[in-house]
Chains A and B, each alone.
Chain A
Amino acid sequence: QQQVKQSPQSLIVQKGGISIINCAYENTAFDYFPWYQQFPGKGPALLIAIRPDVSEKKEGRFTISFNKSAKQFSLHIMDSQPGDSATYFCAAGNNDMRFGAGTRLTVKP
């Protein structure tokens, strides 16, 4: 019943490296694909989002790559910083969102 599958569960990256998190969805009717960032003790906050009419969206160091035919999308964090250490969730849906299981990212100094 899981509609959005996210990997990896955890990721350790050196400062300055590239962090890559992947997601796959099942429902072809989904039309909104956001990534949320969550720090301990806080609610998730929108980081970046994409709609299926484009294949890539970049905002600063964060890029979403979207492959509609494969029903997959990924988050790339360039020049990863220790302050990026958080849990990242992908989501997909229409009016309501289905969230992936989350990826705990640790960026080592």
Chain B
Amino acid sequence: DAGVIQSPRHEVTEMGQEVTLRCKPISGHNSLFWYRQTMMRGLELLIYFNNNVPIDDSGMPEDRFSAKMPNASFSTLKIQPSEPRDSAVYFCASSGLAGASEQFFGPGTRLTVL
């Protein structure tokens, strides 16, 4: 199994531009999580989906952030417009069991907003 796949691995953009991060969860997993990691705030849960339905988006920082999961094998996290304070590593993770269980993390996308 290829594990959780994220793209791009690195993204450099200018303030005000739209940024789209992509995630392919492990096949058969029915929960998907988006995290943001920074030195100051650590690892923060942004949103998670169960069976493609958003369950909790209380961690999404503001309306500039949106996430979708159109099918079981694909999710996107969009930032529009981007700001320098959005610079961070964004991780996608998936899990396959009902309830709390191991989450498998992708390699992350390092986003730099200039």
List A residues at the B interface (Cβ < 8 Å): 31-32, 34, 36, 41-46, 49, 89, 93-102
Minimum CB–CB distance for A92 against chain B, Å: 9
Provide the residues of chain A in CB contact with B100, threshold 8 Å: 31-32, 93-95, 97
Are B43 and A42 in contact (CB-based, < 8 A)? Answer: no
Say yes or no: A98-B45 contact (C-beta < 8 A), given A43-B93, A93-B100.
Answer: yes
Provide the residues of chain B in CB contact with A99, threshold 8 Å: 35, 42-45
Are A96 and B48 in contact (CB-based, < 8 A)? Answer: yes
Minimum CB–CB distance for A32 against chain B, Å: 3
**Measured between alpha carbons, how far is A78 from B101 in the docked complex, in Å?**
25
Are B107 and A43 in contact (CB-based, < 8 A)? Answer: yes
Provide the residues of chain A in CB contact with B33, threshold 8 Å: 96-97
**Measured between alpha carbons, how far is A1 from B48 in the docked complex, in Å?**
19
| B55-114 interface with A by 8 A CB criterion | 55-56, 91, 93, 99-108
Q: Is residue B50 within 8 Å, beta carbon to beta carbon, of the partner chain?
A: yes
Are A45 and B105 in contact (CB-based, < 8 A)? Answer: yes
Minimum CB–CB distance for A104 against chain B, Å: 11
Q: Give the B interface residue count (CB, 8 A).
A: 24
Are A42 and B107 in contact (CB-based, < 8 A)? Answer: yes
Are A100 and B42 in contact (CB-based, < 8 A)? Answer: yes
Provide the residues of chain B in CB contact with A97, threshold 8 Å: 33, 45, 100, 103
Residue pairs across A and B with Cβ atoms less than 8 A apart, 26 shown, are: A31-B100, A34-B102, A36-B105, A42-B107, A42-B108, A43-B93, A43-B105, A43-B106, A43-B108, A45-B105, A46-B102, A46-B103, A93-B100, A94-B100, A95-B31, A95-B50, A96-B45, A96-B55, A97-B33, A97-B45, A98-B45, A99-B43, A100-B42, A101-B42, A102-B42, A102-B43
Minimum CB–CB distance for A67 against chain B, Å: 19
Give B47's nearest chain A residue, CB to CB.
A96
> Besides the contacts A43-B4, A43-B106, A99-B35, what 20 more A-B pairs have beta carbons closer than 8 Å?
A31-B100, A32-B99, A32-B100, A32-B101, A34-B102, A41-B107, A43-B91, A43-B107, A45-B105, A46-B104, A89-B42, A94-B100, A95-B31, A95-B48, A95-B50, A97-B33, A99-B42, A100-B42, A101-B42, A102-B43
